[in-house]
Amino acid sequence: MYNQKLFRREQLKFMAFNLIAFTIIFTLFSIIIIGQVRSTLYSNADRELRSFTERVEQFESNPPNDAFDRDPRGPNPRIIVIHWSKEGKILNESEIGTTLFENYFSRYTLETSTLGDITNLVIDDTYYFRSLLVNDTSVGSYTQLLINTDAEQSILDNFTRLITWFAAIFILLSILASYLLSKRMMQPIIRSWNKQAEFVENASHELRTPLTIIQNKLELLLTRPDVRIAEQIEPIALSLSETRRLSKLTSDLLTLARADSAETQLDTQLVDLGHLLLEVCTPYEEIALSQDKAFLLTVNGTIYVSADPVRLHQLMIILLDNALKYTKAGDTISVMLTNRDQKPTISVSDTGIGIQEGHENQIFERFYREDTARTRDTGGAGLGLSIAKWIIDAHAGTIQVEANRPSGTTFTITL
């Protein structure tokens, strides 16, 4: 319940982060696009204004009879020229034209703070101009050049509206995308969290059982302080065996924990597989014989691989331990090394009790045991094959399990 709330809160946090990121990206994108369109639209008008000013300056330094007659292109008819007196009075009412002047410019006052800069000017909240004010002593004090940009402004308004709509729609869509993304991002976290919790629970359970046995046996011994050790062999032996079990379990847990944190590095070197197998199998051959089981080791040729010999040794011990654990007297255990399809392949088969059909993948899961009661007797905690799988994965190899006909199991490792 608490976890659910925690996951929900984290998911909401992820969602908020995603949403903020999307919104910032869309907003920046819109601002840049609108800015670009705006400068492109106005650039033509601004160029016209600048070139007109150059002509005014030329006129000032070298006044001809008619300044505009000298330029073969003549003045741009879109440009309105206003000459201002020092006191802010329009000097060329008649040039501007009565309609324009009376309707618009008679109420317009001179603004000198933008001298030399091209600015936007809105008259009557309806008509848009680009405006450039320059010093001009030849006619009055200042000359203001205006160019009507209603068409540009209308394109810009439409475009801004369009982009705003699109940005709004994309931001709305990004709420959905953020939700789905955050949900997806949380899935592996939830999965590994649950796995970790399950692992800790299983590990504690596995540790508790031998500890309880040891505690009970020791308490029992304490109640009889006068009894001789020779008479208490059973509780002492059991405690010892449970201690060994605990020690194996903790070392397995440590191996897996280190494997999870990628702390364990492989010490890779060139390994003679036949030699390694001979070394690992020799003691098992003796144990098998002592249990009336046949043990066969076949090595086809000399095969070298680049691997960590300590880990390969550990892997073989896991498989051979299992082969011994899950076979009875009269069964056979065979280990074979071949070079199948140019790949070094080791197979460990037995004619023992075998694995239930359909459980072939589960046996590699941590703490998985085919039959808890059965494997408790054999001393396993269900960690051996998970470690084997990790070793194989670390070597970029494969491990497969199949039924050995008519009975038993075959593990095939390819390196």
Which residue number, 39 or 372, has a Cβ lying nearer to ligand ADP?
372
Residue 142 or residue 326: which is nearer to ligand ADP going by CB?
326
Among 380, 391, 413, 415, binds ligand ADP (CB under 6 A): 380
CB 133 within 8 A of CB 114: yes
Q: Which two tokens stand for residue 121?
A: 């000017």
Per-residue binding string, ligand ADP, 297-336, x by CB under 6 A, is ---------------------x---xx-xx----------
* Nearest distance, CB of residue 184 and ligand ADP, angstroms: 32
One of 370, 402, 403, 414 touching ligand ADP (CB under 6 A): 370
Residue 86 C-alpha from the chain's centroid = 67
Interface stretch with ligand ADP, choices 136-144, 225-233, 235-243, 363-371 (CB under 6 A): 363-371
225 contacts: CB under 8 Å, gap ≥ 6:
none
Closest to ligand ADP by CB, 272 vs 402, is: 402
> Measuring CA to CA, which residue among 206, 194, 190 is closest to residue 367?
206
Q: Using CB under 6 A, which of 369, 391, 395, 413 touches ligand ADP?
A: 369
SS3 content of the chain, % helix, strand, coil (to 5): 60, 15, 25
Residue whose C-alpha is closest to residue 143's, from 202, 67, 204, 70: 67
CA diameter of the chain: 137
| Structure-block tokens of residue 188 | 């592996």
Q: Minimum Å distance from CB 370 to ligand ADP?
A: 3
- For the window 84-103, what string marks contact with ligand ADP as x by the rule CB under 6 A? --------------------
- Give the residue with the Cβ less far from ligand ADP, 243 or 375: 375
Contact between 293 and ligand ADP by CB under 6 A: the answer reads: no
The answer to whether residue 80 forms part of the interface with ligand ADP (CB under 6 A) is: no
Helix axis angle for 233-260 and 150-223, nearest 10°, is 170
Choose the binding region for ligand ADP from 112-120, 267-275, 294-302, 366-374 (rule: CB under 6 A).
366-374
> 96 or 387, CB closer to ligand ADP?
387
Contacts of 361 (CB under 8 A, 6+ apart): none
- Torsion angle (degrees, nearest 10) of CA 108, 113, 114, 116: 120
Nearest to 119 by CA among 131, 107, 129, 110: 131
Per the document, the length of the chain is 415
x-marked contacts with ligand ADP along 182-221 as a string, rule CB under 6 A: ----------------------------------------
367/58 Cα distance (integer angstroms): 93
Answer yes or no whether residue 291 interacts with ligand ADP by CB under 6 A: no
**Residues at the interface with ligand ADP (CB under 6 A):** 318, 322-323, 325-326, 350, 352-355, 363, 368-370, 375, 380-386, 409
